[in-house]
Amino acid sequence: MQSRLGWAVLTIVAVLFFVFIYAPLLVIVVTSFNANPVNMLIWDGFTLDWYRGLLGLGERATDVSNRALYIESTDQLLAAVRNSLTVAAATTAISTVVGTATALALARHRFKGRGVYSGGLLLPMMMPDIVLGIGLLIFFVTIGMQLSLLTIIIGHCTFLISYVYLIVQARLAGLDPALEEASADLGASEWTTFRKVLLPQLAPGILGGALLAFVISMDDLVITYFIAGTGSTTLPVYIFGMIRRGVKPEINAIATMIILASILIAALGLWLRSRKTD
């Protein structure tokens, strides 16, 4: 009796929890199909116009000036998506390699200043984004570096390396050190051991770190806002700019597509993980 009540309460709490975290997303997805161009909270029929407009397929606007606006914003949007993907891909590659290598070095070798080093690695993660953003901006200006995609990539790497390091390091700490010794004992050099034993064992951690780095890099607004040059607007910065000019229905369509992409990435990650473990 008591446990049945407990189950009921638990179910209600669980449902409320999911409503709480998913309701805003649901609102966005629904409104992205709302035909009402002025007030998105009043349902005015189903439409795909906002998606068509974004992708440059829109024939909705009849007057010339309006059409020009659409086409222009479509090009900008696609450029922003391209920038974001470029930054995220480069950042993921760099921070995954460097973060993994750092975790290995810190776990397997004793050297002077090791404690300071591993502590210092976590600092960028805990620093408020706005501080990091301003700091990076001042740094780039001081050394006379033009703001571009490169500065964004460097900026993202400064804190994403820490994320990858942390995840790989956790996986490494759970690994039996005797595995590497067994490999060496059986005649494998350090490099062979790395390739054949360490890397496959760490793969789920490395993959998880890479996915996280990719998602955070795609998503970052605050830091990027400071260090993005005029030609290097990323998707979040672009959306932020659009909102400042007024909330347009297209934003909901963009958001919905981002949600879809995120779900796909997360599903891919889960699938890869489940394939690895047995």
Partner 1 sequence: MTALLEIRGARRRFATPEGGHIAALDGVDLDVGGNEFVTLLGPSGCGKTTLLRAISGFEQLDGGSVRLDGADLGALPPFRRPLNTVFQSYALFGHMTVARNVGYALEVRGVDRATYEREVGQALEKVGLSGMGARKPSQLSGGQRQRVALARAIVAKPRLLLLDEPLSALDRNLRQQMQLELKDLQHRLGIAFVFVTHDQEEALTMSDRVVLMRAGRIEQQGSPRDIYRRPRSRFVAEFIGETNLFSITVERIEGGLAVGRTAQGLALWLPAAGLRPGQSAVAALRPADFTLEDGDIAGQVSRSVYLGSDLHLFVRPNAGGPEIRVTARDRAGAPEVGTPVSLGYDPAAAHVLEEA
63 versus 185: smaller Cβ distance to partner 1: 185
Residues in the chain: 278
63 versus 176: smaller Cβ distance to partner 1: 176
Taking phi over 0 as left and psi of -120 to 50 as alpha, with beta for the rest, 172 belongs to alpha
Count the neighbouring beta carbons within 10 Å of the beta carbon of residue 165: 24
30 versus 203: smaller Cβ distance to partner 1: 203
Tokens 């700490």 belong to 173
184 versus 216: smaller Cβ distance to partner 1: 184
Smallest distance from the beta carbon of 113 to partner 1, in angstroms? 19
Tokens 């998707």 belong to 235
Smallest distance from the beta carbon of 248 to partner 1, in angstroms? 50
Smallest distance from the beta carbon of 172 to partner 1, in angstroms? 15
Smallest distance from the beta carbon of 183 to partner 1, in angstroms? 7
Q: Which residues of the chain form contacts with partner 1 (CB under 8 A)?
A: 176, 178-179, 181-190, 192, 196-197, 200-201, 278
Smallest distance from the beta carbon of 181 to partner 1, in angstroms? 6
- Helix 249-276 with 235-244: angle, nearest 10 deg: 160
82 versus 195: smaller Cβ distance to partner 1: 195
The one-letter amino acid code at 267 reads A
Query: Measured between alpha carbons, how far is residue 54 from residues 38, 46, 57, 149, 248 in Å?
Result: 17, 17, 7, 23, 11
